[in-house]
Chain A
Amino acid sequence: MHLAPNLAKITQEQLVFAAAVLLFFVFSLAIPGFSTLGNLSQILERVTVVGIFALGASIVVISGGLDLSQVGSAMAGGGMTVLLLNSGWSLPLSLAAGLLVCVFIGIINGYIIAFVEIPDFFATLATNLLIFGVARLLIFSHDFRIYLNHSALQSFFFTILGARLLAIPVTAFIFLLLVVLLYLFMRSTTIGRTLYAIGDNSRTARENGVPIRSYTILKYTLSAIFGYIAALAFLSTIHNIDAGVMIGTMIFDVILIVVLGGVSLVGGRGTPISVLIGTILIGLLLNGMTLLNLNNDLQDVARGAVLLIAIVVDNRLHPRNEETARKGE
């Protein structure tokens, strides 16, 4: 079924943006204090971590993949950083070690998918369980949740990361900066454009000499690096790293934001701006529902419904039969 020509020209990004604006006005009218600067800052703060995760995940989805282990690897890397800092390691070395853990996991994911040719869904699902088990043994062996010690919290790095500028958390500015940087990277560099090309039609890309396997490793590594930045934002917000998050539902929120904004699950479409818009819509929704005092069940219903609508819209705007023809399958 095809939409009317005028309607088909509307992108999902535009639809979601319109929905976000509408929701903002509805909540502003319905909830006293919703549109205050303080509350808008809360909205940004609430979605910053998941938004940074979603930026990394969008790189993988745009180039035709899925990374279910991103949150797991991030918490393993973040946990390693906290463990080392609490053991007296220097900040640069602890950060480097945590980043290295994430990069290593990203490379392993990419290798398994590119060279062993395991479908991304199963590969990253399995590696997430593996990471959880190993992290539980080595990093979270005693406590499921490890807290950053007082002296590390007082360091310049975490003081800045946990600070606020004009009532807005610094991590939210970092998120916005990452949106811009990733946008420039994806649109203006050869690597970024190649990632779009692979997502659009991997066979054609391969026939034109693109080293698909190297790019597969690269995209999962980039996803893991963004994950590590998100883990640091998480750490600066609540001062601990939680192993429970590795096997929790945060990864589904990440995918929800990616898909909602208009990064098509079939690959090749969407931008970091789409992710930003999806993040804002989810932030508005969660904040409004909390202020309306809706219970968790209703909040889950709303989130599930939004994800379902986003997938249906994605399917209508980019019908599978056309997509498979485009990919030459």
Chain B
Amino acid sequence: MFKSFTRILVVVLLMWTTGASAQLNDAPHQQWNQDIVGKSIVYIPVSLSLPLMNIWNDELKLLASEAGIKFTTLDPNLNVNKENQMIASLIPKKPDLIIVHNPDRQALARVLKAANDAGIYVIQINMGSTYQSDAFIGVDAYDLGVKMGNAAAQACEAPGAPSKNLALVTGSLVSQFSIDQVKGQMAALAKHPDLKVVTKQVVNWDPKTDFDKVSTIVDAHKDLCAIVDEYDGEAVGAARALAIAGLTGKTKLITSGAGGKFACEHAASGQIDVNFSYQARDQAIQFMTVAQYLLESHIKPGTVKTTIYTPSFEITKENMQDMGCK
């Protein structure tokens, strides 16, 4: 009874104190209320069908709500034309800021410039375009590929590795992110001429296709030392194929992804050996921080060009506790 009363008292006090702080009228609060509260941000990922973009969406929505920003998500569902039209139709509505995830470097360049010209801030995430808008924030796909290639080389050159043969699995043939990542992987592997890429497969980000293809590959090449699989959302298919073939832990599965619970669970179970995580939740915080900075800055949209490459960290079964996995 006493505990319940204390709890209620604490809640009432908290509500009173936070209410009081919201009513502070000093210069920072005035600026915040004027430049942030009530502003509108539109988030356009290439699709909400992938966990990464869902994590960004959830986190951005939460951060926007906390800041009193009107937040809208538009989902073109992997349709490049639709994404283009969505941005074009947003321009006359004049949201204050657009956070956009490009499908490639070319597709949205013209319409993103038009948005900037119309006075809308544009932040591009994880995939840049030939048009440099106010900010690009995201992982460096090439650098990520290099890290993955190096991890594969390390696994394949380790004593006891089953062979020097490895396989590459790519999300898409047309996504610039995929293309850059593969370039990075190949650049890293080129420094190890003893290693041989026996097959390169494209799985369209789909874990079932990944499962089907990797099942076939590991049956034909039972001695693979590593599979470098672009994205952990699809690589779960490869992990399952390796498990069925009895190759979990023998053929090292190296991938990358959004991090969080998903990466932790697969590291803990040993299904994914190395996962380069670009910590999607932290990325979303960076997107929102830069968004708020731009809104408060009153800089003319399109005049500053900021690039922020976000870090990626290696998550393995051995270091997962240190990487924030519970």
B208 touches A290 (CB 8 A): no
Contact for B236 among A31, A238, A293, CB less than 8 A:
A238
Interface: A240 (CB within 8 A)? yes
The CA-CA distance from A49 to B202 in the complex, in Å, is: 20
Contact for B216 among A143, A239, A240, A290, CB less than 8 A:
A290
- On chain B, the residues within 8 Å of A297 by CB distance are 173
The CA-CA distance from A33 to B219 in the complex, in Å, is: 9
In chain A, residues 229-251, which have Cβ atoms closer than 8 Å to a Cβ of chain B?
234, 237-240, 242-245, 247-248
Stretch in contact with the other chain, from B20-28, B47-55, B88-96, B287-295:
B47-55
In chain B, residues 34-78, which have Cβ atoms closer than 8 Å to a Cβ of chain A?
48-51, 54, 58, 77
Q: Given A144-B49, A144-B50, A144-B54, are A290 and B217 neighbors across the interface (CB < 8 Å)?
A: yes
Over the window 276-294 of chain A, the binary record of Cβ atoms lying under 8 Å from chain B Cβ atoms (1 yes, 0 no) is 0000000000110011010
Contact for A145 among B212, B216, B233, CB less than 8 A:
B233
A244 touches B49 (CB 8 A): yes
Interface: B180 (CB within 8 A)? no
Interface: A142 (CB within 8 A)? yes
- On chain A, the residues within 8 Å of B183 by CB distance are none
- On chain B, the residues within 8 Å of A234 by CB distance are 208
Give the total of B residues in contact with A, Cβ under 8 Å: 29
Over the window 104-129 of chain B, the binary record of Cβ atoms lying under 8 Å from chain A Cβ atoms (1 yes, 0 no) is 00000000000000000000000000
The CA-CA distance from A240 to B266 in the complex, in Å, is: 14
Instruction: Give the nearest-CB partner of B211 in chain A.
Output: A238
The CA-CA distance from A244 to B48 in the complex, in Å, is: 9
Contact for B211 among A38, A145, A164, A237, CB less than 8 A:
A237
Interface: B157 (CB within 8 A)? no
Interface: B305 (CB within 8 A)? no
Q: How far is the CB of A118 from chain B (nearest CB, A)?
A: 25
Over the window 199-222 of chain B, the binary record of Cβ atoms lying under 8 Å from chain A Cβ atoms (1 yes, 0 no) is 111101011100111011101100
The CA-CA distance from A164 to B246 in the complex, in Å, is: 13
B51 touches A143 (CB 8 A): yes
User: Dominant SS at the B interface?
Assistant: helix
Interface: B237 (CB within 8 A)? yes
B208 touches A238 (CB 8 A): yes
Interface: B164 (CB within 8 A)? no
Over the window 227-258 of chain B, the binary record of Cβ atoms lying under 8 Å from chain A Cβ atoms (1 yes, 0 no) is 00000010011001000100000000000000
Q: How far is the CB of B171 from chain A (nearest CB, A)?
A: 11
- On chain B, the residues within 8 Å of A295 by CB distance are 173, 200, 202
- On chain A, the residues within 8 Å of B236 by CB distance are 238-240
Q: Given A238-B240, A293-B200, are A38 and B51 neighbors across the interface (CB < 8 Å)?
A: no
- On chain A, the residues within 8 Å of B212 by CB distance are 45-46, 286, 290
- On chain B, the residues within 8 Å of A293 by CB distance are 199-201
- On chain B, the residues within 8 Å of A321 by CB distance are none
Q: How far is the CB of B308 from chain A (nearest CB, A)?
A: 27
A242 touches B202 (CB 8 A): no
Instruction: Give the nearest-CB partner of B199 in chain A.
Output: A293
Q: How far is the CB of A73 from chain B (nearest CB, A)?
A: 18
Q: Given A144-B51, A238-B237, are A245 and B208 neighbors across the interface (CB < 8 Å)?
A: yes
A39 touches B54 (CB 8 A): no
B201 touches A240 (CB 8 A): no
The CA-CA distance from A291 to B213 in the complex, in Å, is: 9
In chain A, residues 139-164, which have Cβ atoms closer than 8 Å to a Cβ of chain B?
142-145, 164
Instruction: Give the nearest-CB partner of A247 in chain B.
Output: B77
- Contact surface of B with A, Cβ cutoff 8 Å: 48-51, 54, 58, 77, 173, 199-202, 204, 206-208, 211-213, 215-217, 219-220, 233, 236-237, 240, 244
Q: Can you offer 14 A-B residue contacts whose CB atoms are under 8 A?
A: A42-B215, A142-B54, A145-B207, A238-B207, A238-B240, A240-B236, A242-B207, A244-B206, A245-B208, A248-B206, A290-B213, A291-B216, A293-B201, A295-B200
- Contact surface of A with B, Cβ cutoff 8 Å: 31, 33, 36, 38-39, 42, 45-46, 49, 142-145, 164, 234, 237-240, 242-245, 247-248, 286-287, 290-291, 293, 295-297
